[in-house]
Amino acid sequence: MEPLCRNLDLKPATFPPISPRFPKPISLSLRSPRFSCSDRQVTKKWRVSVGNANSEAKFSSQELVRAIGKGLLAFAAAAAANYAVVCCDYPAMAESLTLAFPVSRTTEVNSVQRTLVETWGLIRETFVDPTFNHQDWDQKFQQTMTEMFPLKSADAAYMKISGMLSTLGDPFTRIISPREYESFRIGSNGNLQGVGLFINTEPRTGHLVVLSCVEGGPAARAGLHQGDELVEINGEKVDGIDIEVAIQKLRGRVGTTVTVKVHRGNDFAGDSSIKEVKLPREYIKLSPISTATIPHKTPDGRLTKMGYVKLLAFSQTAAADMENAINEMKSQGVHSYILDLRNNPGGLVKAGLDVAQIWLDGDETLVNTIDREGNLLPINMVNGHAITHDPLVVLVNEGSASASEILAGALHDNRRATLVGHRTFGKGKIQSVTVLHDGSALFVTVAKYLSPALHDIDQVGIAPDVQCTTEMLNSPKESTSKEKSSVSSSREADSCVLVAEHELDIQESKGTAS
């Protein structure tokens, strides 16, 4: 069997001689047989010995991370060690690694050094690019640890970790502080205090752009739009800062305000393209679903009902809320559906897959993943049962990203839905989130994904079957629709919704419902 990685034999870095003031260096040895090229993964076991102690403990890889977090690897400042040596041996692959680094006496920095070890190990084991952007990742770790040693604050030390991660060339692989992670969790649960603004990193430029605004929220009322580029927050330029840092600056206690500057869309013609607004922070309830029943007259004159469902984000409750909404509209006599994913920035990938299974039967492929070794792994349903087989159209645009693209691709490639709108955002990466010992969180891109038909999505997006104009119609049609929840009245003047209604008529006339 050919090794998955080259043999490593890194000598300890050259540091100043150990003075009598310091005790002997800490020595850590980690032993982990990697899995072979077969489909069966061998559970990783680690042997950890600290200092001169003869005690030995065995850990799984996850337990090792927890052990580091609890300080079992003697990174506590009280150890007063001058150096630490990490030795990793991979007998199954004849791979060995030795790293040496100075251990800080500053308690705050010492704690972040443990976080750095966790980060380095998780990236080494799971990051989608096994070349680590064509750099020696172990040497990068050693360099970062050495640069961290003389620092005096945790903030400065965390900046070193962020700098190390930035060399991977993936803006979505990042670390966030405990406070930022708590805000992330609150957002995923659907409740937060902020300005109602969804932003993301544009992968081609690295700039922060507005994906969408929560309807009726402070940002929407101030006239911010999808495509606006975020320039400043409270007078501080945001070019190059981490997205979670920007989100944290926008959120805050209800009753306070935040001032933002944005470039208006793609208009960079001068100062006139800059818009500055002061936004009040409010309680933002992110109910993921908005619905409406649309009375519709078919080409042959029959009066029918169409169901309109707008999915705002893939939160933990998205699939359950979607299923409840569809079942209720079915009870009202709805026989065809428009699923609106426009300006949906994504969220939990599992939620996207769960929503797909509401519409699909059998064992269809929902998405294909490609791991770091280039292995293609389809994710299929198991004995799926759709709750409705009525015709379906999905609306997408440039703000439809990540889990939205997974869902749209699954429904389109399995010939369950027609896509109407504009090409999607193009984020074809899947990430894992690991909570580290200090409550911070590491986001790691662990795989790329392709649609069921093996279409690449990353930085490409999904092209719709039918395009529609983004302008509103001059004469909104009259409607007597009774809406279940708050859906903008402008929907009645939305040309894409009208195109979707036309496509549903075509599906019904051809009998193309699944």
Amino acid type, 399: G
Mean confidence (pLDDT) of the chain? 76
- The larger pLDDT score, comparing residue 141 to residue 472, is at 141
Q: Among all chains, which residue has been given the structure tokens 């495509």? A: 227
pLDDT at 470: 54
pLDDT at 471: 53
In whole angstroms, give the CA distance from residue 507 to residue 514: 10
200-214, 344-358, 408-422, 444-458 — which is least confidently predicted? 200-214
The per-residue pLDDT for range 317-344, each reduced to its tens digit, is: 899 999 999 999 999 999 999 999 998 9
pLDDT at 175: 93
**Mean pLDDT, range 28-45, rounded to an integer:** 29
CB 448 within 8 A of CB 369: yes
pLDDT at 317: 87
**Mean pLDDT, range 240-252, rounded to an integer:** 83
**Mean pLDDT, range 283-312, rounded to an integer:** 87
In whole angstroms, give the CA distance from residue 395 to residue 377: 28
Residue 283 clears pLDDT 60, i.e. is over it: yes
**Two tokens, residue 511:** 């009998």
What are the residues whose beta carbons fall under 8 Å from the beta carbon of 486, sequence distance 6 or more? Answer: 215, 216, 290
Q: Half-sphere exposure (CA, 13 Å, Cβ side) for 168?
A: 28
What are the residues whose beta carbons fall under 8 Å from the beta carbon of 503, sequence distance 6 or more? Answer: 393, 418, 420, 466
211-215, 288-292, 336-340 — which is least confidently predicted? 211-215
Which pLDDT band, with edges at 50, 70 and 90, does 231 fall under? very high
**Mean pLDDT, range 194-220, rounded to an integer:** 84
Residue 483 clears pLDDT 80, i.e. is over it: no
Determine the distance from the C-alpha atom of residue 200 to the mean position of all C-alpha atoms in its chain, rounded to a whole number.
Answer: 10
pLDDT at 507: 87
**Mean pLDDT, range 182-210, rounded to an integer:** 75
CB 351 within 8 A of CB 314: yes
133-137, 190-194, 408-412 — which is least confidently predicted? 190-194
pLDDT at 87: 55
pLDDT at 47: 33
**Mean pLDDT, range 380-392, rounded to an integer:** 92
Which pLDDT band, with edges at 50, 70 and 90, does 4 fall under? very low
Residue 91 clears pLDDT 50, i.e. is over it: no
What percent of the chain has a predicted confidence (pLDDT) above 70?
71
pLDDT at 247: 84
Q: Is the model's pTM score more than 0.85?
A: no
φ/ψ of residue 498, rounded to 5: -65, -40
Which pLDDT band, with edges at 50, 70 and 90, does 81 fall under? very low
pLDDT at 492: 56
Residue 485 clears pLDDT 60, i.e. is over it: no
* Residue 28 buriedness (CB in 10 A; 0-12 / 13-18 / 19+): buried
Which pLDDT band, with edges at 50, 70 and 90, does 180 fall under? confident
pLDDT at 411: 97
Q: Which residue of the set 140, 310, 427, 484 is catalytic?
A: 427
129-138, 403-412, 458-467, 470-479 — which is least confidently predicted? 470-479
Q: Which residue of the set 402, 404, 440, 451 is catalytic?
A: 402
The per-residue pLDDT for range 300-322, each reduced to its tens digit, is: 888 999 999 999 888 888 999 99
- The larger pLDDT score, comparing residue 220 to residue 265, is at 220
Which pLDDT band, with edges at 50, 70 and 90, does 88 fall under? low
In whole angstroms, give the CA distance from residue 88 to residue 299: 70
402 belongs to the catalytic site:
yes
Question: What residues does 198 pair with on adjacent strands?
Answer: 212
pLDDT at 116: 94
* Residue 415 buriedness (CB in 10 A; 0-12 / 13-18 / 19+): exposed
Mean pLDDT is highest, among 99-113, 145-159, 187-201, 202-216, for: 145-159
160 belongs to the catalytic site:
no
Helices (H), 265-333: 318-331
Q: How many residues does the structure list for the chain?
A: 514
**Mean pLDDT, range 30-45, rounded to an integer:** 28
Element (H, E) at 30: strand 26-31
pLDDT at 488: 41
The per-residue pLDDT for range 113-155, each reduced to its tens digit, is: 989 999 999 999 999 999 999 999 999 998 999 899 999 999 8
28-32, 132-136, 434-438 — which is least confidently predicted? 28-32
Q: Among all chains, which residue has been given the structure tokens 């999904």? A: 462
Q: Among all chains, which residue has been given the structure tokens 């409840």? A: 324
In whole angstroms, give the CA distance from residue 74 to residue 51: 8
**Mean pLDDT, range 235-248, rounded to an integer:** 84
